[in-house]
Structure 1
Amino acid sequence: MTDEKKIIVTRTIEAPAQDVFNVLTNPAEHVKLDGSGFIRSVDHGDRIQKVGQVFTMNMVGEHMGGEYQTDNHVTGYADDKLVAWQTAPAGTEPKGWEWMYELEAHGPKETAVTLTYDWSKVTDKELLKKVHFPLVEKHALEESLAKLEERATSN
């Protein structure tokens, strides 16, 4: 699904929800999951365990003039069901866009994963002039879920 300020993709992964969640909550795995090509590495970040945590990623993209860092503020967390964060340029507060992974177990060995990229809360007019949302297209989100399946089923 795509609407004016949000993209939602879903994929059923043949792995237990716990295995999928373990991959998603490890920031070091995110470079391997990135379908956009923006993530280079984790700068710092412990395993995500609660709302309020922050992890920092090393990024690259022409939209930011090359290399940059993001602080990712965890906004949603529920064991084996949900992990979400809002992204901001390092050292700043989130500007309103959010990444959310929702997991729904379909038996012991299958999980439906819904990835939502939502920029509906971005109100900073200067940011909206600089960054043209969506920065990440639907096909890149679908690629991220394909890579998540590879990681979750290889463990």
Structure 2
Amino acid sequence: MTSNQTHVTVTRTIDAPAKDLFALLTLPARHPEFDGSGTVRSAEDTERIDKSGEKFVMNMHREAMGGDYRTHNFVTAYDENKMIGWQPAPEGEDGSAPEGPLGWEWLYTLTPQGADATEVELTYDWSRITDQKLLQKVGFPAIPQEDLEQSLNLLAAAVTKG
């Protein structure tokens, strides 16, 4: 685990091939299964992510955000069986889609450790946020390290379910 003022990274080796983990991570409908923060409720978009530049919408819940809300997630990293990442942006109060991400990113990096094990690194990075009001309002890191570690535990359980 590493942490500084702009990101938190946790790592775990999971007994599954990288391709199986990548298949799970690129399917938004499965994201609630491995969300250690408990904020992800369901996916509006259930199509598999297959390239950078795509967008998927998730239904979320967090009391600090006023309860239920939706995020539009912009895919920023895609390297098949190696890396997947996205930057979220909350939907407007009027239901309008955001024009682009606000600067924080979720990034999963997969490194094979033999045929049937993969080191998974999960990074929650808010280094691209330049809006000081947003930084103060959200209070980064909004998701603590323990929740990231739980996400990797849940990912390990979800990949064994198939």
Give the alignment's TM-score, normalised by structure 2.
Answer: 0.93
Does 2:139 correspond to 1:139?
A: no
Aligned amino acid, residue 40 of structure 1:
R
C-alpha distance in 2, partners of 1:154/1:66? Answer: 30
The Cα offsets for residues 62-117 of structure 1, whole Å up to 9 and x where unpaired, read as 22111110000000001100000001012111110000000001111000000000
Structure-1 residue corresponding to 2:25: 24
C-alpha distance in 2, partners of 1:31/1:74? Answer: 17
C-alpha distance in 2, partners of 1:58/1:37? Answer: 12
Give the alignment's TM-score, normalised by structure 1.
Answer: 0.97
C-alpha distance in 2, partners of 1:25/1:103? Answer: 13
Partner-residue secondary structure (3-state), 2:135: helix
5+ unaligned residues in a row in structure 1: which ranges?
none
The Cα offsets for residues 33-90 of structure 1, whole Å up to 9 and x where unpaired, read as 1100111111124111000110000011122111110000000001100000001012
C-alpha distance in 1, partners of 2:25/2:55? Answer: 14
Aligned amino acid, residue 67 of structure 1:
D
Which of the residues 153, 156, 160 maps onto 1:149?
A: 156
Partner-residue secondary structure (3-state), 1:121: coil
Aligned length: 155
Aligned amino acid, residue 85 of structure 1:
W
Q: Kindly indicate whether the alpha-carbon contact (under 8 Å) linking 1:98 and 1:117 is maintained by their aligned counterparts in 2.
A: yes
Partner-residue secondary structure (3-state), 1:114: strand
Matches within 5 A, 1:1-155: 1-90=2-91, 91-92=97-98, 93-155=100-162
Q: Where do 4+ consecutive residues of structure 1 move more than 2 Å?
A: none
